[in-house]
Chains A and B, each alone.
Chain A
Amino acid sequence: MVLTNLDYFFTTFFKAHRCKIIHKEKGLIKVQLTKELDRELMNRPFYWHYMEKMGQKGEPMKLTFITDPNHPNQQSGEWVHFGSPRLQQIINHLKKNEIFAKLYQYVSSHVETPLYPWLVINIKIIYQGKQTREELFSIGLNLINGLMRTNMMESIHDLSFQRSVPDFCFPLSPLIRLKSGYRRIENVLKQYIYDQDQTWVEETLATGKHELALLQHFYESRDDENEALYQKEVSDIKNRYQPKIIVQVINGGLFYLTDSYQN
C-alpha cells in the first residue's frame, strides 16, 4: 500500500513536482521546493506577493521530513506520519490536482507500433446510510471496439507511461467519443447499483423512523422553549438517515495502450 512507505511516497511526490531531493536517508528526507509547490504548501501568500511587487525572484523553502519518529535527528525536521496535517495537505493537493490524464504507454520499439485509445475512469461509489460504505472501481473502455474491463488501474499499474507519443508509435483515433464512452460506463454502474441488495436502504429508513419515534418520547410536551431544539433534532435525524448514493469520479483520462491490451 502506497501509504505504508512514506519515504517512497514523499520521494515520488516531490520528484514528480521537479523538486530536488537534497538529502535522503532512512527516515529523513530533505527537499528543495519549487516556487509552485512553495506557493501550494507553505501558505505564505504575502511573501510571494511582496517578492513579485519588488520584482524579485523569491526563494522557495527547503523542507525536512522525518518519517521515523525514532530518528536521531528528529528535532531537525517536520515529523510526518499518517494523519499528520502535512501528509493530509499533500494528499488533498493530489486529490485536487491529479484528476485528468492523457498518457501514452512507453514502448521501446524500432518498428511502427499502434497505440489503442482507452478511456480509464476511476470512480468511487459512496453509499450513505446508517453507515457509510465506499467502493472503488477502475474501469477501462477500449474506444475502438467498446471492450470494457474492470480493475484497469491494477492491470496497467506496473507499466510506464509518458505524456508525449513515444518514438515509432502512432496513436489510433478513437471511434467512440469520450462522452458516449463515459455514458456507457455510467450505465453499467447504474445497473450495478440497482442490482444490489437494498436492505441497507430499508434498514436506514427504518432506523430513522425509529429514532424519530424515540425522540417523540422526550418531547411529549413541546413549548416555545424546546420547539427549536426539537426541530433541529428532527432535521438532523432526517438528514442522517436519508439513504444516498454518490458516484464520484476520482480521476481518469485517455490512455494509449499497445495491442497486447486488447485482451
Chain B
Amino acid sequence: MNELDIVFEKNFIQQLEERVINDLPTSSWDLFKMTYDIQKSTLIHTSDDLLAIDYLPHLTCLPHQLNTAKQVVMQMNGCAILADEVGLGKTIEAGLILKEYMIRGLVKKVLILVPASLVNQWIDELVNKFYIPAVAYRKGYSWKHVDIMVASLDTAKRAPHCSEIHNINYDLIIIDEAHKLKNHQTKNYQFVKGIKKKYCLLLTATPIQNHLSEIFNLISILKPGHLGNYKAFIEKYVKAVPSIEDNHYLKELINKVMIRHTRKDTNIKPSKRHIKTIWVDFSKEEETYYKQLEYELGNKVPFLKLTLLREICSSREACYMSLKKLSNNSDHPVEDLHSFIDGLEKLPQHAKARKVIEIIKKIGNEKVIIFTEYHATQYFLQWYLQQHGISSVPYRGGFSRSKKEWMRQLFQHDRQVLIATEAGGEGINLQFCHYMINYDLPWNPMRLEQRIGRIHRYGQKKDVYIYNLATKQTIEEHIMNILYKKLNLFERVIGELDDILSKLLITDLESEIQAIFHKSTSTGEAKVKLNHLTSIIQENIELYEEMGETNGTNKP
C-alpha cells in the first residue's frame, strides 16, 4: 500500500463540536436526510449502470450505446471519438454521456456543433429523449448566456461568434460529422482547436476517409500531443510504411480514444438492404457522342476528359456546363468545341432519365430519393420528372438550414421525390423513405455509404431498396464492375469496407482511381490497372479477415 494515498477528511469533527458546544445553527432533519439521499443516489459505482439510466425510464438504449457511454465516462475521461457506423445511434450515445455528466454535476456549459441541416434534429432528440434543455442558435443569442447551445459549425466559426466562443470555458463540446475537421489547415479545424474545453466528443462514421493524418488531426483536438507531433507522425506513419510493431502501437493508442461499433458487433438485425444494379444502354446517338468525347475532344483536353465522360453519363446538362465553361475560357481555345456543344443539344432525352421514370413508376406511390453528383443533373431531373407528372423537391448543401428543413418537410408530406446532390447527403435523416436511386455512383465508396445511411440507419423498420444506375460501355461500367462488384461492396454491409479501409490504412481511393484513368492511354490499360488495384485491396481484406480471426482484435 506504499504507493497509495489516503486522504482523510480533517475538519469535520472539529466544526461539529464547535457547533454543538456553542449552539450554532444546524440542519433540519428534512434537509439533512435529503442531502444524504441525494449523495446516495448519485454515487458512482464502477460496475453499475450509468446514473442517467435511472432518470430516463422512457428511453430504451441498445447495449452498444450504453457500453459506449459507460466507456467514455468511466475510462476515457470524457474525450473520445465516437465512430460507430452510420445509423447505430451516435447521437444517442452523445446524449447519454452529456446527461450523465450533467447529473454528476460535472458539466454545465456545453457547445454542440452539427451540420446546419441537423440542428433541429439534435434539439429535438436532446429535449424530448434526454430532457436536456438545448437551444438552437438564433441571431442575437448570447453564446455566453445559453448553457447548452446547438449551432452549425459554419455559423460558430464566423466573426464575431468565433472570438466570443473562444473566450468561454466549455465543460463539454460535441462535434457531429467531425470528419470535417480532418485537415488541420482549415478554418474549421483551427476554430475547433481553439475552443477551451474539459470534455470533448467527436462524432463521425468515417474517422479515416482517405488518409491516416486525418486521425492524427482528430486526436490532436481531443488530446494535443497524444500522438507526438504532426511532422514526426507523418514521417513515421504516412510517408513510410510503418512496421507491424509501430502499427500495433498506433492501433492501441487509437483505441484509447476511439470507439467504433459496426453492425456486425452490435448484433442488430437491421432491416434489409436490397441492392439492385440497373444497366442502362445509351441510345445510338449518345453512344457515338460518348466515343467522340472520349477519343476526339478528350485528347485535346486530357485534364477534363474524365470529368466530361462522367458528366455525359449523368446528363447532357451537366456536360454542357463544363463545355460552356471551356468555351468561355478564351486563353485556351479548343478546336471544334462548338460542334460538340451543338452535338450535345441534338442528343435525344437521356437514357438514364428514362430509366428513372420507369423505376419510379414501378415503385408506385412510395417516396424516393435520387442522388446525383451534379447540380445541372439535379435541375434537369426536376424538370424531367415534372414532365412525367412526378412531384419532386431539390436538396443540396448550399441551402440554408431553414430551407433544408422546409424541403425535408415538403418531401415528407407533399412530394414524391427528393433529388439530392452529394453535399446534401450528409446529416439529414430521411427514414420515412425506403427507396433510393443512385443516379450516378460516387468514386469513393464511403460517400455511397453516407448516402445509404440517410434512409438505412438505426431505427429503420422497413427494408430499403437501393437502385444503382450505370451506363454500359462507359466509364461507369468499369467503376461498377471493378470497384463495386469485384469488391462485393454491395453484398458486404457497407460499413465493413469502411472499417477495413481505415484499418488497412489504404490511402485516398478516389484519387488513386482518377490517377489510373488519367495516366492510362487506353481503356484497356485503365482496366488492367484498376483490376490490379482492386486485387490489392482484396488481398488486404483477406489478410485483415485472417488477422481478425487469429488475434480477435479487430474490434476497437
**Listed stretches B226-234, B450-458, B465-473, B518-526; interface member:** B226-234
B225 near A229: Cβ-Cβ < 8 Å: yes
Interface contact B12-A91, CB-CB below 8 Å: no
A100 contacts the other chain (Cβ, under 8 Å)? yes
Q: Closest residue of chain A to B75, judged by CB?
A: A131
Chain A: residues with Cβ within 8 Å of the partner, total of 84
**Please, which residue of chain B has its CB at the minimum distance from the CB of A86?**
B133
Report the minimum CB–CB distance from B99 to chain A (whole Å): 6
CB-contacts of B331-363 with A (<8 A): none
* Chain A interface mostly: mixed
Task: Determine which residue in B26, B39, B77 has the highest number of CB atoms from chain A within 10 A of its CB, and name it.
Answer: B39
Contact with B along A77-105 (1 / 0, CB 8 A): 00101111100100110110111111100
Decide if A247 touches B229 in the complex (CB within 8 Å). no
Within 8 A of A (CB), among B97-124: 99, 102-103, 105, 108
Cα of A125 to Cα of B107 in the assembled complex, Å: 22
Tell me how many residues of B have a C-beta within 8 Å of chain A.
69
A124-B39, A201-B3 known; A101-B27 Cβ under 8 A: yes
Asked whether B19 lies within 8 Å of A102 as measured between CB atoms, the reply is yes
- Minimum Cβ distance to chain A for residue B556 (Å): 15
Check A135 for interface membership: any CB of B closer than 8 A.
yes
Chain B residues within 8 Å of A252, by CB: 12, 16
Q: Which residues of A contact B108 (CB under 8 A)?
A: 85, 88
B residues in contact with A91, CB < 8 Å: 38, 105
Choose among B7, B34, B42 the residue that contacts A244 (Cβ–Cβ < 8 A).
B7
Chain A residues with CB below 8 A from B75, complex form? 130-131
Please, which residues of chain A bring their CB within 8 A of the CB of B228?
218-219, 226, 229-230
Q: Within 8 Å of chain B (Cβ to Cβ): is A46?
A: no
CB distance from B124 to the nearest CB of A (A): 13
**For the complex, is B492 an interface residue (Cβ under 8 Å from A)?**
no
**CB <8 Å contact, B133 and A251:** no
Interface segment, A8-16, A57-65, A108-116? A8-16
Q: How far is the CB of A108 from chain B (nearest CB, A)?
A: 16
Among B7, B16, B105, B249, point to the contact of A253 (Cβ < 8 A).
B16
- Bound CA–CA A113/B99 (angstroms): 49
At the interface, yes or no: B240 with Cβ under 8 Å from chain A? no
A178 is contacted by which of B16, B42, B45 (Cβ under 8 Å)?
Answer: B16
Contacts of B133 in A (CB 8 A): 79, 81, 84
B45 in contact with A88 (CB, 8 Å)? no
Whether a CB of chain B sits under 8 angstroms from the CB of A73 is no
Q: Are B39 and A136 in contact (CB under 8 A)?
A: yes
Given A69-B131, A82-B103, are A136 and B229 also a contact pair (CB < 8 Å)?
A: no
The answer on a CB contact under 8 Å between A186 and B8 is: yes
Cβ of B4: which chain A residues have Cβ within 8 Å of it?
198, 201, 243-245
Residues in chain A near residue B60, CB distance under 8 A:
none
* CB pair B35 A250 closer than 8 Å: yes
For residue A42, CB closer than 8 A to chain B, the reply is: no
Docked-complex contact B103 and A214, CB < 8 angstroms: no
Question: Which one of B29, B52, B226 lies within 8 Å of A162 (CB-CB)?
Answer: B29
| Contact residues in A for B14 (Cβ distance below 8 Å) | 179
* Contact of A100 with B19 in the complex, beta carbons under 8 Å: yes
Interface flags for B1-26 (1: CB within 8 Å of A; 0: not) read 10111111100111111011000101
A sample of 22 cross-chain residue pairs with beta-carbon separation below 8 angstroms, ordered by A number, consists of A4-B55, A15-B30, A16-B31, A82-B103, A84-B133, A88-B108, A91-B38, A98-B32, A98-B34, A124-B43, A178-B20, A179-B13, A215-B226, A218-B226, A220-B232, A229-B228, A230-B228, A244-B6, A246-B7, A251-B27, A251-B35, A252-B16
Q: How far is the CB of A244 from chain B (nearest CB, A)?
A: 5
Question: What's the least CB distance linking A76 to chain B, in Å?
Answer: 15
Nearest chain B CB to A143's CB is how many angstroms away?
Answer: 11
Does B44 contact A132, Cβ atoms closer than 8 Å? Answer: yes
Residues of chain B with a CB closer than 8 A to A229's CB: 224-225, 228-229
Closest 6 CB pairs of A and B: A83-B102, A229-B225, A218-B228, A2-B37, A161-B29, A182-B13
- A12 and B38 alpha carbons, distance in the complex (Å): 13
Task: Contact check, A178 vs B17: say whether CB atoms are below 8 A apart.
Answer: yes
Residues in chain B near residue A130, CB distance under 8 A = 75
Beta-carbon contact of A1 and B41 below 8 Å? yes
Task: Identify which of B16, B31, B226, B229 gathers the most chain A CB atoms within 10 Å of its CB.
Answer: B16
A153 at the interface (CB under 8 A from B): yes
Q: Which of B36, B105, B226, B232 has a CB less than 8 Å from the CB of A251?
A: B36
| Nearest neighbor of A132 in chain B, beta-carbon distance | B44
In the complex, what residues of B have CB within 8 A of residue A162's CB? 29
Q: Is A24 close to B, CB under 8 A?
A: no
Task: Assess the B46–A132 pair: CB atoms within 8 A.
Answer: yes
Residue of B nearest to A245 (CB): B6
Give the chain B neighbours of A98 by CB distance below 8 A.
27, 31-32, 34-35
Q: Within 8 Å CB of A123, what residues of B?
A: 9
Besides the known contacts A178-B20, A244-B4, 17 further A-B residue pairs in the complex with CB atoms under 8 A apart:
A15-B30, A79-B133, A81-B55, A94-B34, A100-B26, A131-B74, A132-B44, A134-B45, A136-B40, A178-B16, A178-B17, A179-B17, A217-B249, A218-B233, A244-B6, A250-B35, A253-B27
| B8–A247 CB distance below 8 A | yes
Cα-based distance from A72 to B229 in the complex (angstroms): 55
Query: Complex formed: what's the CA distance from A186 to B16 in Å?
Result: 15
Which residue of B has the minimal Cβ distance to A179? B13
* CB under 8 Å from chain B, chain A span 189-230: 190, 193-194, 198, 201, 205, 211, 214-215, 217-221, 225-226, 229-230
Which of B19, B28, B226, B233 counts the most chain A CB atoms within 10 A?
B28
B246 contacts the other chain (CB 8 A): yes
B421-438 at interface with A (beta carbon < 8 Å): none
Q: B285 near A: Cβ within 8 Å?
A: no
Contacts of A230 in B (CB 8 A): 225, 228
Q: Is the CB of A233 within 8 A of B16?
A: no
Q: Is B281 an interface residue (CB 8 A)?
A: no
Task: Using known A-B contacts A94-B38, A201-B3, A219-B228, determine if residue A16 contacts B20 with beta carbons closer than 8 Å.
Answer: no
- Complex CA distance for A142 and B144, rounded to whole angstroms: 52
Residues of chain B within 8 A of A102, CB atoms compared: 19-20, 26
CB atoms of A253 and B8 under 8 A apart: no
Residues of B within 8 A of A81 (CB): 55, 131-133
Q: Give A55 to B103 CA distance when docked, in angstroms.
A: 41
Q: How far does the alpha carbon of A94 sit from the alpha carbon of B39 in the complex, in Å?
A: 10
Interface residues of B in 68-108 (CB under 8 A from A): 74-75, 77, 99, 102-103, 105, 108
Q: List chain B residues, Cβ under 8 A from A215.
A: 226
User: Is B225 in contact with A233, judged by CB distance below 8 angstroms?
Assistant: yes
Binary contact track B470-503/A, C-beta < 8 Å → 1, others 0: 0000000000000000000000000000000000
B54 at the interface (CB under 8 A from A): yes
Q: Is B510 an interface residue (CB 8 A)?
A: no
